[in-house]
């Protein structure tokens, strides 16, 4: 069974795996930021290391992954630079300079932006009651889970007003551009070129010799390698595979589970607080995901019954 032929449930599974890795790595990122590593080096190395790993693998395994149309290179560049590099940096900068709650809430307005574009502008998707209810539940649940129902923790200052909004717009762009490229190219081709262009972009911002001057140890690079694998290589692979099988707006809604996972991991691993309102918010997001999957399964059953008749 090929990726195209797999049922919608497989798409949800892939996205949920991505969410678990993204949410789980959030606490690790927070720890790294509060020790000796700055936002730029964490963002840059996780893209660069992921590119090296995936490119080396396919150079040895299957070089057809590198075959693309020249006219599509600007699209891959946009997916890598805007969709990965800028999205990551603006999000992490907002986390570092403002609050985690503010960064998460701004970025996860993206599902609404994606739905508006896909339905009204591109007209690639249709609007239905289940999707609207799921969107409202996921956004409201995300806010409750992250903020605990209080606005006091949603604080923006200085450039974080710009970077917070930019992270949402760039994340939306990543969803839509990846979905567009998936109509022509494989998951691995998209990831290889996206990581590659993100890596080249960061080399112009923070050159290799500037990185060398930092004097990072072998153990530091081991941390960078580990973080790259769990925070971007594995989850982005799962995310892109799921995006091939599901509508972009549906994927956006399902990924609002990420902050819920992040909060649970922070509670278990870092001893951070978790109150009743946050639990209720998490349950609302889970309900939204279940609603979407139940609708997908029902549509699949109806199609099967029609074919049987």
- Binned at pLDDT 50, 70 and 90, residue 158 comes out as confident
* 3-17, 66-80, 246-260, 280-294: least confidently modelled range: 3-17
Whether residue 2 lies inside any domain: the answer is no
Whether residue 228 lies inside any domain: the answer is yes
Q: Are 68 and 151 in contact (CB under 8 A)?
A: no
Whether residue 77 lies inside any domain: the answer is yes
What digits encode the pLDDT tens for the residues 228-274?
999 999 999 999 999 998 888 888 888 888 878 877 877 777 676 77
What digits encode the pLDDT tens for the residues 27-47?
787 778 777 788 888 889 999
Whether residue 234 lies inside any domain: the answer is yes
From 177, 154, 178, 142, select the one nearest 253 (Cα to Cα).
142
Angular region, 206: left φ>0, alpha ψ -120 to 50, beta rest = beta
Whether residue 177 lies inside any domain: the answer is yes
Mean pLDDT for 208-223 is 91
More confident residue, 55 or 134: 55
Percent of the chain with pLDDT over 90: 36
Q: Please give the residue range of the domain that contains residue 48.
A: 8-308
Q: Which residues contact 43 (CB under 8 A, 6 or more apart)?
A: 85, 88, 89, 92, 202
* 48-52, 72-76, 103-107: least confidently modelled range: 103-107
Structure-token match 């649940």, residue found:
141
What digits encode the pLDDT tens for the residues 77-105?
999 999 999 998 888 788 777 766 677 77
Whether residue 1 lies inside any domain: the answer is no
How many folded domains does the chain comprise?
1
More confident residue, 59 or 134: 59
DSSP notation for the chain:
--TTTS-HHHHHHHHHHHHHHHHHHHHHHHHHHTTT--HHHHHHHHHHHHHHHHHHHHHHH-GGGG---GGGHHHHHHIIIIIIIIHHHHHHHHHHHS-HHHHHHHHTTHHHHHHHIIIIIS--S---HHHHHHHHHHHHHHHHHHHTT-STT----TTHHHHHHHHHHHHHHHHHHHHHHTTTS-HHHHHHHHHHHHHHHHHHHS-HHHHHHT---HHHHHHHHHHHIIIIIHHHHHHHHHHHHS-HHHHHHHTTHHHHHHHHHHHHHS-----HHHHHHHHHHHHHHHHHHHHHHHHHHHHHHHHH-
The pLDDT value recorded for residue 8 is 59
More confident residue, 124 or 8: 124
Q: Are 270 and 24 in contact (CB under 8 A)?
A: no
Whether residue 120 lies inside any domain: the answer is yes
- Indicate if the pLDDT at residue 55 is higher than 60: yes
- Binned at pLDDT 50, 70 and 90, residue 1 comes out as very low
User: Could you tell me the pTM of the whole model?
Assistant: 0.83
Whether residue 109 lies inside any domain: the answer is yes
Mean pLDDT for 164-188 is 92
Distance, in Å, from the CA atom of 104 to the CA atom of 90, rounded to the nearest integer, reads: 11
Percent of the chain with pLDDT over 70: 89
């Amino acid at each position: 069974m090929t990726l195209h032929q797999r049922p919608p449930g497989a798409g949800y599974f892939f996205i949920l795996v991505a969410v678990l890795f993204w949410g789980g790595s959030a606490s690790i990122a927070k720890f790294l930021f509060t020790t000796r590593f700055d936002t730029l080096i964490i963002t840059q190395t996780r893209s660069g290391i992921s590119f090296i790993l995936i490119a080396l693998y396919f150079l040895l395994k299957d070089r057809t992954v590198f075959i693309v149309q020249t006219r599509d290179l600007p699209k891959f560049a946009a997916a890598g630079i805007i969709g990965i590099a800028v999205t990551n940096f603006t999000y992490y900068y907002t986390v570092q300079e403002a609050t985690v709650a503010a960064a998460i809430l701004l970025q996860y307005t993206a599902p609404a932006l994606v739905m508006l574009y896909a339905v009204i502008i591109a007209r690639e998707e249709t609007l239905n009651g289940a999707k609207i209810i799921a969107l409202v539940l996921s956004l409201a649940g995300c806010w409750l889970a992250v903020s605990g129902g209080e606005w006091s923790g949603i604080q923006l200052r200085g450039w974080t007003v710009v970077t917070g909004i930019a992270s949402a717009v760039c994340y939306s762009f990543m969803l839509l551009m990846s979905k567009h490229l998936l109509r022509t190219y494989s998951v691995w081709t998209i990831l290889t070129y996206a990581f590659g262009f993100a890596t080249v972009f960061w080399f112009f911002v923070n050159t290799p010799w500037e990185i060398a001057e930092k004097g990072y140890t072998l153990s530091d690079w081991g941390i960078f390698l580990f973080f790259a694998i769990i925070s971007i290589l594995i989850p982005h692979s799962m995310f892109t595979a799921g995006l091939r099988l599901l509508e972009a707006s549906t994927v956006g809604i399902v990924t609002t589970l990420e902050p819920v996972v992040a909060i649970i991991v922070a509670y278990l691993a870092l001893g951070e607080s978790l109150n009743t309102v946050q639990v209720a918010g998490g349950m609302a997001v889970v309900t939204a995901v279940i609603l979407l999957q139940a609708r997908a399964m029902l549509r699949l059953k109806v199609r099967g019954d029609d074919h049987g008749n």
